[in-house]
Amino acid sequence: MTRPRLDRETVLTILAENDALDDPSEVTVKPLGGGVSSIVLLVESPHWRYVFKQPRERFQVTDDWQVPTERARVEHDAARFLDAHLPPYSVAPTLLYDAEREVVVFEAMPEGWVPWKERLLSGLVEPHLAHQAGRLMGRIHGLAERLGDDEMRHDDLFHAQRIDPYLRTTARRVPQAARHLDELEKGFFAHAGLVHGDLNPKNLLTEGTRLILIDHEVMTRGDPAFDLATLTNHLVLKAIHLPTHREALLDAAEEVRRGHASVHPVDPALLERADRWLGALLLARVHGKSPVEYLSPQEKTIVTRLGLRILDEGLGPGSVRRVVLEA
């Protein structure tokens, strides 16, 4: 049976089945941005605000990118786990999972909360938010010890969401990087850390000095260096895109590491792997299936050159700033 597509009718049906629908005429439904991988709707009444999310079978990108829709269950389970073990409101609370329709319902944040990405691209770079993001990452990584060996392990989904579209696609398009990317792929699955998989300023909502994490469908077990590289990568990309704010963005990248280290033991080997992942992800966000939308052709050339340099030469401690400024 084909699942119903998430729309107003489906929303009202789910609300009614869960005794949460009083007057349908009071319910408003509107799409939220960032729906490349999922249909995301903001559903409001005078009494509450919810976010309904249903994964797409095919991502809305130029390349053919398909991921099993069972990731809705993964996201629900991950959100419940994080909400139970992190400080209150570190993540948006999940309210229910409709297995038949593969819909996850979250509590929506009040008006005024925006993706951290928007503030960064506007030139508003706040070190305290970068530090908070690093601390939150460190806390997530520390939760691996609460899991059994096979809990929260989703190798196939991670392959479909990150390995193939990021590493393997990039390896085909930038063959000089293929050997390094293959080594990173093999190394990822050799670790059993807890990996969020999408620690991206787009998925960190902020209001004032507060920060909250959303979007957990990529969570799996593997190398946590991937997360550290992911968040650093987005700050480096913006540093290249916004030269007048470059120093502040590189400060923020360093603050992420400080925040991470403040709650998670500093592992030099993890930091070294994160540097190599940074080189790979710089390439992937230009040449993979999910390119960032804001880079100019000249900036893409700079990012490509920088990613290859990092993969070929590596980085010494604290040298991300130096290499980016030399790019």
pLDDT tens digits along 79-100? 999 999 999 999 999 999 999 9
| pLDDT at res. 318 | 55
Please indicate, yes or no, whether residues 282 and 253 belong to a single structural domain of this protein. yes
Assign residue 264 the CATH number of its domain. Answer: 3.90.1200.10
The answer, yes or no, to whether residue 35 has pLDDT greater than 80, is no
Q: Which CA distances in Å does 218 have to 83, 86, 161, 199?
A: 16, 18, 7, 10
Q: Could you tell me how many residues make up the chain?
A: 327
Task: Yes or no: say if 233 and 145 are a contact pair by the CB < 8 Å rule.
Answer: no
Is residue 96, in this structure, part of any structural domain at all? yes
What is the rounded distance in angstroms from the CA atom of residue 196 to the CA atom of residue 107? Answer: 20
- Summary mean pLDDT of the chain: 94
Confidence (pTM): 0.95
- Of 107, 141, 165, which one is at a domain's C-terminal end? 107
Query: What order do you get walking across the sheet with 210-213 strand by strand?
Result: 114-115, 204-207, 210-213
pLDDT tens digits along 202-258? 999 999 999 999 999 999 999 999 999 999 999 999 999 999 999 999 999 999 999
Please indicate, yes or no, whether residues 97 and 145 belong to a single structural domain of this protein. no
DSSP state of 204: E
Is residue 98, in this structure, part of any structural domain at all? yes
Please indicate, yes or no, whether residues 97 and 122 belong to a single structural domain of this protein. no
Please indicate, yes or no, whether residues 55 and 202 belong to a single structural domain of this protein. no
3-state SS, residue 11: helix
Is residue 298, in this structure, part of any structural domain at all? yes
Q: Per-residue confidence at 316, pLDDT binned at 50, 70, 90?
A: low
Please indicate, yes or no, whether residues 100 and 120 belong to a single structural domain of this protein. no
DSSP state of 161: I
The answer, yes or no, to whether residue 317 has pLDDT greater than 60, is no
| pLDDT at res. 150 | 87
Domain around 239: 114-326
Instruction: Please state the domain count of the chain.
Output: 2
Assign residue 99 the CATH number of its domain. Answer: 3.30.200.20
What is the rounded distance in angstroms from the CA atom of residue 27 to the CA atom of residue 6? Answer: 15
Residue scoring higher pLDDT (86 or 326): 86
| pLDDT at res. 149 | 87
3-state SS, residue 327: coil
Is residue 220, in this structure, part of any structural domain at all? yes
Please indicate, yes or no, whether residues 218 and 97 belong to a single structural domain of this protein. no
